[in-house]
Amino acid sequence: MRIVMTSVNVLLFTFITGMIISGILMPHEVFGFLHLPVGMFGRRLHMVSTAWGFCLMVVHLRVHGREQFERQHLGHIDSGVEIFESTSDVDITFELVMD
């Protein structure tokens, strides 16, 4: 599993770097003074790096998110709710005003 996660992290870093490079190459209005020939290479680099980058981000977040949620104890509060014992139900009404 460690080899797989290291591979995912290296590939994710590579694709994020591709996103940054293609993001610099694409907008001629911002970086026009650099006179970089973009052509189809920049567009393809952008499309490939963003598509695969987001797919790898999902894999990365899924693995690390699962570890985070397994460590947390969610769903039950034991203390600090005593102040709500003396409250009662409150009726709330909403009115739609159209001018």
Q: Convert the pLDDT of each residue in 60-84 to its tens digit.
A: 888 777 666 666 666 666 666 666 6
User: Which stretches within 1-99 are classed as H helix?
Assistant: 2-25, 28-31, 39-71
The whole-number pLDDT of residue 13 equals 92
Q: 23 pLDDT band (50/70/90 cuts)?
A: confident
Q: What is the DSSP letter of 85?
A: T
**For 84, which DSSP code?**
G
| pLDDT band at residue 95 under the 50/70/90 scheme | confident
Tell me the average pLDDT across 23-43.
72
Residue 3: strand, helix, or coil = helix
d(CA 26, CA 60): 27
First CA to last CA across the chain, in angstroms?
61
**pLDDT exceeds cutoff 80 at 59:** yes
Query: Residue 99 is encoded by which pair of tokens?
Result: 């001018």
